[in-house]
Structures are given as structure tokens and as C-alpha cells.
Amino acid sequence: MMNSSLARHPSFLLLPTLLLLGVFFCIPVLLMFGVSLASRGLYGGIEWTLNFENYLRLADPLYWNIYGRSLFLAGATTVVCLAVGFPLAYVMARSSPRMQNILLLLVMIPFWTNFLVRTYAWIFLLRTEGFFNSVLMHLRILDAPLDLLYTNGAVFIGLVYGYLPFMILPLYVAIERISPSFEEAALDLYASGLSVFWHVVIPLARPGIVAGCILVFIPSVGAFITPHLLGGGQSMMLGTLIQHEFLVVRDWPFGSAISFVLMLLVVVVGIPMFTRRKFWG
């Protein structure tokens, strides 16, 4: 690459990108950090006082159940996506090339379908006058509709539904690279199907498992649309808390502090993973 004819490309090629992301991404993020050190003015404005009060306030037990719910729902979503996604990713990776393409397309379509619409689908299914309740009452299984929407369960289903493709795609890439001869060798040596899966496929698919888990966990823990629409007021998560502080309470400094801590978490956990070239396949 060093010998390439374009090797001496001047950096003006990069300059516009740096400018755009510098002004409209780096500066806003730094500004957010600055605001997180200020305090809320009397009428919801920002008072420039340098203090760490907002960060101390994060420890207030008032917010613990929101942190707990966010971590628990994101964790459960990750585990279930892995459990549900792995078989499909495996079947995809071991299908004929033609079938692989078809299945890949089938997984890609939801991945690129409007997230809001996909969340709306669950409102339509779960609400009191919704599809499930109507069907169950029509079949006389239920006498009165169940409260399915605006529960933690609804948020959980919405998250799994929303982020499942994020798990399947990296798993598929990882499993596809494992030569089937490893599995055949294990079977020849009298390993059971389950132990081949456990001792051969899963360890070799680890890069994909780690990538998939991060790609599901990070957006789930900071999710906004799903808890906002399926959770209602009772099931607040970090993403909805940030929005609440910014647009409802208008406590921008505190909202910035939450947002900044969450971003640090993403950087510390995610960036070392994402920057490995292997990660993106």
C-alpha cells in the first residue's frame, strides 16, 4: 500500500470529513461534558458553575431502579438474542450458497426496516384492543383483555425483536469461517451432537459471539424508541431518562451527565472491540 501511486495523497481529502465530524460531533460531545459540570438555572437554563454535583446525583437511589431495569433488560435481551440467533446463524452458515443468500437477505430486511414501524407492530399486537387480545377473546380463551402493553415484558420483546438481526449477522460471519471438517472430526471421534456444538462450534465462533453481544447490548441499554413506546411511564430506561431530563424536566446539566457516563461506558467497553479489523468481517 505504501507504494501505491496515490500514496502521497494530500490530507485535503480528509479535511472536509474532519471538519464536519469535528464541528458537529466532537464539539457537541465536549460541550455536553462541559454542560454536565454546570448546574440547572432557576427557569431550566444553564448556570455555568464548575462542580461535580450532577455526577454525584447519579448515585441517588431514586435512579437505581432505572439503571437496574436498563442493565437487566439489556442483559436479558442479549442472552435471548444469542440463544435464539445462534441456531439460525448456524443453519445459515451451513446451507448451500444459494440458500445462504436467501437467508441472509431474509435477516437483512428487518435489519434495514424502519425501527419505529417495527416497534409500532408490537403496539398493534399487544395493546388492549390489539391483535393478541382480540384473537384470544374471539376464540373465547379470554373473557377480559390482558394488560400486555406498557409493561417490562413488552419492552423486553420489543428489544429482542429490534436487535435480533444485530446478533445474527456477526454470528453468521463467524460460523461461516469455521470449516465443517472440525465438526466432522469431532463426530468421527464419537462426540455427541451437543458436545460438538459446545466444545467445537461455540469456542470457534467466539469472535462472532462477542461482537454480536456488544452490538445488541449497547443499543439496548441506551434504547429510546422501545421503552418510550412499549414501556410507557412505568418502564423508564436510561435512554428515556435522558430524553426526560432534556425535554420534560429541562435539567440539561443532569441529562448531559447521564449521557456522558453512558458514552464513556460505550467507549471503554466497545471501542477496543470495534477497532479490531476482524470485528467487521
Residues 114-143 that bind other proteins (CB under 8 A): 114-118, 120-125, 127, 129-131, 133-135, 138
Beta-carbon neighbour count of residue 86 at 10 Å? 22
Residue 84 C-beta-side C-alpha neighbours within 13 Å: 15
Stretch that binds other proteins, among 48-56, 60-68, 170-178, 214-222 (CB under 8 A): 214-222
Angle at 138 between CA 135 and CA 139, to 5 degrees: 90
The interface with other proteins within residues 25-64 (CB under 8 A) comprises: 25-29, 31-32, 35
From 154, 218, 230, 236, residue interacting with other proteins (rule: CB under 8 A)? 218
Handedness of CA 155, 74, 209, 79 (dihedral sign): negative
- Taking residues 169 to 208 in sequence order and writing x for each that binds other proteins by CB under 8 A, - otherwise, the string is --------------xx--x-----x---x-----------
Among the listed residues 265, 263, 261, the one whose alpha carbon sits nearest the alpha carbon of residue 54? 261
Binding residue for other proteins, selected from 66, 242, 251, 257, defined by CB under 8 A: 242
Residue 36 contacts residue 55 (beta carbons within 8 Å): yes
Of the pair 122, 156, the CB lying nearest other proteins is at 122
Measured N-to-C along each axis, helices 152-177 and 64-93 cross at an angle, to the nearest 10 degrees, of 40
Q: Which of 71, 146, 210, 266 binds other proteins (CB under 8 A)?
A: 266
Q: With beta carbons less than 8 A apart as the criterion, state whether 32 and 256 touch.
A: yes
Strand ranges, E, within the chain: 39-40, 46-47
| DSSP-based three-state secondary structure for 30 | helix
- Smallest distance, other proteins to C-beta of residue 259, A: 5
Stretch that binds other proteins, among 54-62, 169-177, 205-213, 257-265 (CB under 8 A): 257-265
Q: How far is CA 243 from the centre of its chain?
A: 17
Task: Indicate the burial class of 191 (C-beta count within 10 angstroms; 0-12, 13-18, 19 or more).
Answer: middle
**Nearest distance in Å: CB 161, other proteins:** 7
Applying CB under 8 A, which of residues 16, 61, 97, 233 lies at the interface with other proteins? Answer: 16
**Taking a C-beta distance cutoff of 8 angstroms, is the pair 201, 90 a contact?**
yes
Nearer residue to other proteins within complex by CB, 67 or 120: 120
Number of chain positions touching other proteins (CB under 8 A): 96
Query: Of 60 and 112, which CB lies nearer to other proteins in the complex structure?
Result: 112
Question: Which of 66, 252, 254, 257 is in the footprint of other proteins by CB under 8 A?
Answer: 252
Round to whole Å and give the CA distance between 121 and 95.
Answer: 30
CB of 94 to other proteins, least distance (A): 7
Least distance in angstroms from the C-beta of 116 to other proteins: 5
Nearer to other proteins (CB atom), residue 84 or residue 146: 84
In the complex with other proteins, the residue whose CB is nearer, 60 or 269, is 269
Closer Cβ to other proteins, 13 or 61, answer by number:
13
Mode of pairing for the β-strands spanning 46-47 and 39-40: antiparallel
Task: Please state the φ and ψ torsions of residue 263, each to the nearest 5 degrees.
Answer: -65, -40
Q: Which stretch binds other proteins (CB under 8 A): 47-55, 56-64, 202-210, 216-224?
A: 216-224
